[in-house]
Amino acid sequence: SNANNSKVKRASAPTIDVRSGMDVESLKQAITEHLFYQQGRNIVNTSLNDLYMAVSHTVHDRLLQHEHKTMNAVFDNNNVRLVSYMSAEFLMGPQLGVNLIDLNIMAEMEQAVQELGFSLNTIMAQEEEPGLGNGGLGRLAACYIDSMASQQIPAIGYGIRYEFGIFDQVIRDGWQVEITDKWLRNGNPWESARPELAVNVKFGGHTESYLDSNEYLRYRWKPDYMVTGIPYDTPIMGYKVPSCNFLRLWKSEAEESFDFSSFNQGDYYKAVEYKVKSENISKVLYPNDEMLGGKKLRLKQQYFFVSCSLQDMMNIHLRFDGKPQDFHKRWAIQLNDTHPSVAVAELMRILVDEYHVDWDVAWHTTCSTCSYTNHTLLPEALEKWPVGLFAYLIPRVLEIIFEINYRFLKEVSSRFPGDNGKLSRMSIIDESGEKFVRMANLACVGCCAINGVAELHTELLKQQILHDWVEMFPERFHNVTNGVTPRRFVVLSNPGLSNLIIESIGDKWPGKLDELRKLEPFADDAAFREKFRSVKLENKKILAALIKERTGVVVNPSSMFDVQVKRIHEYKRQHLSVLHIIALYLRIKQNPDIDIVPRTFIFGGKAAPGYFSAKLIIKLINSVGDVVNNDPDVKDRLKVVFFPDFNVTNAQLIYPAADLSEQISTAGKEASGTGNMKFSMNGALTIGTLDGANVEIREEVGNDNFFLFGLTAAQVEDAKRNGYNPHFIYDNNEELRNVISMINSGRFSNGDTNLFKPITDNLLWHDPFMLMADFSLYIACQDLVAETWKNTAEWNRMAILNVARMGKFSSDRSIQDYCEKIWKVKPFNIRKA
Ligand code: NTF
């Protein structure tokens, strides 16, 4: 045919396809049309935000085409099992850049925007990121829905459309101040409301029994009120594949048609109050990381989104002509920590009360559907809710939990006769004092698979908090080590490195990260090392300019960028790094001519608003910075920066510019960590403890290419058992004594000797996270880091090997593990379907 004859010259311009064309002309036309018909603007009078909206709508149109085709193919096939990833948090980050990468039209869009007279980078910088998560747990959920789409696993992410996400952090006088995150204020071009798919959720009231038409005893729930969930869908495109899934987030609204007696009686104020109460449920994300809230509204959020999602999943299942009791054949649910674990009871309620499935059948269906991922060993993060609160908010769900528990405890007694300790530890209800519902126990009873997020974490789970459960259900336990998406965290964040890698080994690696191994030989190639070094330097210059703009501090791009960015928490030990900074400062003060490697210490991270110690650590970092940065003796050899408002957008600029990655949590406390992976992928070397995924990162990159220090998890436990005495260590280490004295002298607090006392007293007398025990090991290891830095060739060789050996930590591999070990689902190729 003519189309195959490439020699035939086209007489006319290529046809423009405004809705799905991927060529420059179509994109230009589409942007111009969106600008006019959605924003009411022309190219000549547009604001930057209007332009961002028009470009994003242009991309969104193309995603919808893929989403539509994917869902049609999936729904046409009766044998597909879908994944439902349920998470109270999705820390998505900006969408425009990754979507351009996934659609493979970055260059075309760049040109289109340029020809319209603008720069794509400026437009991308305009995006306000959806910060619907706190930290690692929420960001992991975002990486996983990216990888599920890229691996062509049909999946829906289910969560809450918070009107206000994680607060914006500003620093005033060295202290954190929280500002409301109004991320929706300029509109969100990536979502579509689907009011026709709304569902209702019951709250309050009481339950009653009745006999159905077959004379069976049944229960029904007469709620006080109902809340409507409206789904908002965001397409999640796969990387260079035609599959496109979506994220479905629920917004709460008042159930207008609910028989509202106050309104009928003319109490208009009460009617409005009910509206406010309903809308409050999805109003704001709780900003606690690794801390249970215990707040009524938080339980309402959890039940609200779980009930909405399960009803939606049942509607989808029935549309496939499935029987209610076959729900598990259609769906595999992954519970992202215990936040959605009320799903176990809610699914039972739906099956038993609403579809009249027999209890035992329903229980089999529920257990076969649900799996649970644990993300923390910290006791203060294990969720439990007062039984009274449950009874008040969701009475029927509590009855079902009691029934589940009754049957389960019978099973425990018959398996372990006479073991009352086990019974009380495994009971879903904590009856040791005030009664609580233990959400982890509910998850362990009702899930066919339970997993930790790194090998060490899974082992410790099995030995410690879930030990009883391993004895009861050994076959349920798995490990799935976390991963991160290289599309966002390398391709998009670090174009310089990406292009260098592509020049060297081709462009298959972003979708197949093991390919990076081919870089290994380049570690010994001096010319390559030089290019690698210069990419890093360029990234550091960009970050240095941003640091200047955001903090006023001038930093030297050729100094070592020593970075710790993550939530501020005592177990993560940001203050251990501060002790090191002060030790270096003291060395300079004692000998101003000392030969010292110039370093820029960069911190970033938010503290939970109610976490006093974490907020004081932020103040300490800023205070030490004020002194060190301005002391002429230092001669700019040390700089300390607190980069405000660490979020995904800022993270994308920080990881590519890091030389040294600080992963220094107390061994046994960090379940996995995922920032550690993002740093290594971008060619930073790690200084770290044997904690979380650090263990596996070191295994992959090789011991020689990782700076290890500190007690092991087992040594930490031993030290605690044998009566750990931090003050004894302090008494016997002069450098440590000088560091602590300097803080207590008021040197960093304008003479105020009390300001930082809570920190130093805690270290000297309690030190639950063992900073004192690890101090000298950390300092020695940092000295080795400095020595290594002096040998540029060696440093870059090690850094290149880190990049080359990070294949394991792609979230694509994690998703493959979940598919094989837990979900038993296979990729669904929509082209072959
Ligand atoms: C976090 N857990 C852990 O603290 C991190 O180590 C881990 O990398 C991420 O989960 C992702 O698995 C939590 O945020 C929570 F909520 F469990 F405390």
Does any ligand 1 atom lie closer than 6 A to the CB of residue 374?
Answer: no
Beta-carbon contacts of residue 71 (< 8 Å; ≥ 6 apart)? none
Beta-bridge partner residues of 170: 177
Regarding the beta carbon of 376 and ligand 1, being less than 6 Å apart is answered yes
Query: How many Cβ atoms are within 10 Å of 407's Cβ, its own excluded?
Result: 13
Reduced to 3 DSSP states, what percent helix, strand and coil does the chain have, rounded to the nearest 5?
55, 15, 35
Inside any domain, residue 247: yes
600 is known as an active-site residue: no
Is-contact 724 765, C-beta < 8 A? Answer: no
- Kindly give the distance from the C-alpha atom of residue 654 to the centroid of ligand 1, in angstroms, as a whole number: 21
For residues 443 and 577, membership in a common domain is answered with no
Decide: 453 in ligand 1 pocket, CB within 6 A: yes
Provide the pLDDT for residue 1. 38
DSSP state of 488: I
Ranges of residues in the chain whose predicted pLDDT is under 70: 1-14, 257-265, 833
From the CA of 381, give the closest atom in ligand 1: 18
Q: Are 799 and 516 in contact (CB under 8 A)?
A: no
Note whether residue 688 is domain-resident: yes
CATH classification of the domain holding 660: 3.40.50.2000
CA atoms 683, 687, 691, 697: torsion sign: positive
Looking at the fold, whether 654 and 509 belong to one and the same domain comes out as yes
Indicate whether residue 671 lines ligand 1 (CB < 6 A).
Answer: yes
Tell whether ligand 1 has an atom less than 6 A from the beta carbon of residue 673: yes
Q: Whose CA is nearest to atom 11 of ligand 1?
A: 137
Q: Which residues pair with 724 in a beta bridge?
A: none
Query: Are residue 477 and residue 504 in the same domain, yes or no?
Result: no
Cα-to-centroid distance, 781 and ligand 1 (Å): 26
Distance 483 CA to ligand 1 centre (A): 12
Task: Please identify which of the residues 66, 300, 329, 375 carries the catalytic annotation.
Answer: 375
Q: Would the CB of 337 count as within 6 Å of ligand 1?
A: yes
Which residue, judged by its Cα, is nearest atom 8 of ligand 1?
673
CB of 682 within 8 A of CB of 489?
Answer: yes
Ligand 1 geometric centre to CA of 773 (Å): 25
Do 564 and 541 share a domain, yes or no? yes
Indicate whether 25 belongs to any domain: no
Separation between Cα atoms, residue 683 and residue 672, nearest integer Å: 19
pLDDT reported for residue 2? 43
Find the catalytic residue in 32, 366, 369, 674.
674
The reply to whether ligand 1 has any atom less than 6 angstroms from the CB of 136 is: yes
Identity at 404, one-letter amino acid code = I
Expressed in angstroms and rounded, the spacing between residue 453 Cα and the centre of ligand 1 is: 8
Angstrom distance (rounded) from CA 308 to CA 319: 17
Q: Which atom in ligand 1 lies closest to the alpha carbon of residue 136?
A: 9
Q: Which of 453, 481, 678 to mutate to test the pocket of ligand 1 (most atoms within 8 A of CB)?
A: 453
Helix 734-744 × helix 771-790 angle, to 10°:
100
Q: Are β-strands 217-222 and 192-193 bridged in parallel, bridged antiparallel, or unpaired?
A: unpaired
Q: How far apart are CA 173 and CA 410, in angstroms?
A: 59
Ligand 1 centroid from CA 596, angstroms: 36
Q: Decide: 771 and 576 in contact? Cβ < 8 Å.
A: yes
Ligand 1 centroid from CA 338, angstroms: 12
Closest CA to 203 of 239, 228, 173, 237: 228
The reply to whether ligand 1 has any atom less than 6 angstroms from the CB of 659 is no
In a domain, residue 651? The reply is yes
User: Does 522 lie in the same domain as 466?
Assistant: no
322 and 455 together in one domain: yes
* Contacts made by residues 406-413, CB under 8 angstroms, sequence distance 24+: 407/363, 408/445, 412/472
Q: Which atom of ligand 1 is nearest to the CA of 291?
A: 18
| Secondary element (H or E) of residue 131 | strand 131-132
Residue 726 forms part of a structural domain:
no
Q: How far is the CA of 137 from the centre of ligand 1 (A)?
A: 5
Residue 290 CA: nearest ligand 1 atom is 18
Which among 237, 242, 247 has a CA at the least distance from the CA of 101?
237
Is residue 300 part of the annotated active site? The answer reads no
User: How is residue 349 written in tokens?
Assistant: 């309620």
546 and 412 co-located in one domain? no
Which one, of 309, 364, 386, lies nearest residue 86 by Cα?
309
| Annotation marks residue 721 as catalytic | no
191 CB near ligand 1 (under 6 Å):
no
Is 566 catalytic? The answer is yes
Q: Which atom of ligand 1 is nearest to the CA of 670?
A: 6
Name the residue at shortest CA distance from atom 17 of ligand 1. 375
Name the catalytic one among 678, 797, 805, 813: 678
181: phi then psi, degrees, rounded to nearest 5: -90, 100
Q: Is the same domain home to 537 and 441?
A: no
d(CA 544, CA 303): 45
Q: Compute, in degrees rounded to 10, the torsion defined by CA atoms 639, 640, 644, 646.
A: 100
**Count of the separate structural domains present in the chain:** 2
Residues 328 and 254 both lie in one domain = yes
Gap between the Cα atoms of 278 and 260, Å rounded: 13
The upper half-sphere exposure of residue 218, i.e. CA atoms within 13 Å in the direction of its Cβ, equals 18
What is the distance between the alpha carbons of residues 62 and 99, in angstroms, rounded to a whole number? 10
Q: Is the domain of 311 the same as that of 331?
A: yes
- As a whole number of Å, the CA-based R_g of the chain is 28
Atom of ligand 1 minimally distant from the CA of 671: 6
Is the distance from the beta carbon of residue 383 to the nearest atom of ligand 1 less than 6 Å? no
- Based on the fold, state whether residues 84 and 230 are members of the same structural domain: yes
Per the structure, the complete domain to which residue 359 belongs is given by 77-93+129-482+816-823
Whether residue 168 lies inside any domain: the answer is yes
State yes or no: is 234 an active-site residue.
no
Please answer whether residues 442 and 428 qualify as being in contact, where contact means their C-beta atoms are separated by less than 8 angstroms.
yes
- 177 inside domain: yes
CB atoms under 10 Å from CB of 596, counted, come to 15
Closest C-alpha to ligand 1, atom 5: 673
Ramachandran bin of 290, using left for φ above 0, alpha for ψ from -120 to 50, beta for the remaining angles: left
CA-453 nearest atom, ligand 1? 12
Catalytic residue among 567, 580, 606, 698: 567
The verdict on residue 115 lying in a domain is no
**Rounded distance between C-alpha atoms, residue 462 and residue 467, angstroms:** 5
Site to probe by mutation for ligand 1, drawn from 375, 377, 569 as the one with most ligand atoms within 8 Å of Cβ, is: 375
Query: Residue 172's pLDDT is what?
Result: 98
Q: How open is the CA angle 306-309-311, to the nearest 5 degrees?
A: 105
Does 572 share its domain with 665? yes
* Catalytic (active site) residue 678: yes
Q: How many distinct helices (H) and strands (E) make up the chain?
A: 33, 25
Instruction: List C-alpha distances in Å: 528 to 506, 534, 793, 812.
Output: 15, 10, 11, 28
